[in-house]
Amino acid sequence: MKRFRYIIGVVVLSVLLIVLRLSYFGQIIGWDEGVFAYIAQHWDANSLPYRDLIDIKLPGIFLFYKLCFFLFGTTYRAVLIGGSIFAVAGLWAYLALLWQLGMRRSAWWAGLCYVLMVCSPLIQGQRVQPELVMLFPTCLGLWFFLRYQKENREYLLWAAAVSISTAYFIKQFAAVLFLLVWYITWRQSNADRSARIRHTVGVCLSVLTGFYIAVSGFFISNQSFSYFWYWTHVRLIFYIGRVLEIQPLMTTISITLVLLAISGFIVSRLRSSLRQAVAPDEFILVWFCLTLVIISADFHFFSYYCIFLVPSLSLLLVHYAVRLVKSRISAGMRRLFVIMASLFSFSLWVLLTSSSFSSSNATGLFASYYRDEALVAEAAAYMNARTTPEDHVWSFINSAWLGWLSNRSTCTRFLMGAEHFASTFGAGQNEQEYVDEFTSCQPRYFLTKNTQDSLISEQLDQLITRRYQREVTMGYYDIFIRRD
């Protein structure tokens, strides 16, 4: 009977997640998703990531998009289908993880929180971000590891390491999962604790190294390893440093708060006695704190970063809410509290959804965000109708996004726009390369915001004045055409 109820609960939550995500299928592809889709679409023997299509993310997310295109066709709908499948798989792995922790009463409410947060309109632009895709290997890897702790079967540890390494190659945020696994191993008090730590660390590093060897081997065989290493590691560090320079106050505050929280937590745990197995409370807190640290380390605080925080945050909220309710009120009042809280939460979610999900009638919380998508899509359709497949388009906002929407090539390695490029990477050699690429390409059309006083350099402004003229204005966007 319990098994049947469990299956019914999983099915209900899965159907709810799918139904809620159906609203995304009527939307326009977003900023980052346009970059991932464009790279995946153009990745072939003659056009490789990092050498010809520059981004600072590891190739896992591009491979996910290529897989979606292979299975369901080269459309944005294919990506949404793949994202929904991974979201449901992540839910299943998450529930299995909670049951492995022995938190069966909290599992259903945590699962409901997971569903609502993963589909929440409050998480701007989160439809198929790397953070969503990596939830499945994240939860699966932790489930494998907790089973390994209990059953001591070697293959479970290797499976955990493979899953976490997969999440890492989708986005580097998953590096904290290795720290979580090593922390759990360190907290054991049995006689061979040191040996188990060395073994766990060795297996994790071996699998991660194997992933790096496989990926590096691919790029070495295509004579592009230096580009891969430079943009995903060297330039990534510069990217974080550049953000530190731009937002020093926010950075200082976030680092101080996070370090104080983590330091207090670690000190309190070091003073406590070691135990044979890590208690659920400790596992939840360490998972949440480590995840909070890593998403704060980027210092951008984009709302979709919170997706990676969803599993530990949902569990944290529900676990302690259940404990509080159980200790303070009677059973009858507890049921009423749960029912009312559920109805209130779902009503609030529906209210937000009804005013925020429609990109064609954007009047909700993110009206400007969806309106921006609609304007770029309109500009892309305009360019598509007035160009041939051999023509090139360019955007000083996001060339890859425009290229995907218009089904035209962008003829540039630097897929992000000039404003984003300059604020992210700063001045220097790569900035000049950006200017040189536009100068040599001279696309048929380009798109820019009419609120910008200047583009990336005076040299580029002079070229545009000499070779281009404004053809049409759409909202706060201008479309320029080359003078032939």
Confidence check: pLDDT of 65 > 70: yes
Which pLDDT score is estimated for 74?
87
Residues 34-55 have pLDDT tens digits of: 889 999 988 876 788 988 888 8
How far apart are alpha carbons 83 and 77 in whole angstroms?
10
Task: Kindly give the residue spans of alpha helices, DSSP state H, lying in 357-441.
Answer: 367-385, 399-406, 418-425, 429-441
Contact 479, 382 (CB under 8 A): yes
Residue 54's closest CA among 42, 44, 64, 39? 39
What residue ranges do the domains of the chain occupy?
2-328, 367-482
Contact 124, 305 (CB under 8 A): no
For 412, counting Cβ atoms within 10 Å of its Cβ (0-12 exposed, 13-18 middle, 19+ buried), the class is buried
Which pLDDT score is estimated for 149?
85
Average pLDDT of the chain? 77
> What number of other Cβ atoms are within 10 A of residue 91's Cβ?
23
Confidence check: pLDDT of 217 > 90: yes
User: Which residues, in sequence order, are CB contacts of 218 under 8 Å at separation 6+?
Assistant: none
User: Which residues, in sequence order, are CB contacts of 56 under 8 Å at separation 6+?
Assistant: 231, 232, 235, 236, 239
For 406, counting Cβ atoms within 10 Å of its Cβ (0-12 exposed, 13-18 middle, 19+ buried), the class is buried
The DSSP code sequence of 438-451 is: HHHH--SEEEEETT
Of 231-245, 260-274, 295-309, the range with the lowest mean pLDDT is: 260-274
This prediction has a pTM of 0.84
According to DSSP, residue 24 is labeled G
Q: State residue 397 phi and psi, 5-degree precision.
A: -100, -55
Matching residue, tokens 């609609």: 374
For 108, 170, 218, 372, the CA distances from 357, given in Å and listed in that order, are 26, 26, 40, 14
Return the percentage of the chain with pLDDT > 90, whole number. Answer: 19
According to DSSP, residue 46 is labeled T
> What number of other Cβ atoms are within 10 A of residue 163's Cβ?
24
Residue 80's closest CA among 112, 113, 33, 122? 33
Helix (H) or strand (E) holding 478: strand 477-482
Residues 146-196 have pLDDT tens digits of: 999 888 889 999 999 999 999 999 988 888 899 888 888 887 656 677 788
Which pLDDT score is estimated for 367?
45
Matching residue, tokens 């230096």: 226
Sign of CA dihedral 256, 258, 264, 270: negative
How far apart are alpha carbons 188 and 36 in whole angstroms?
41
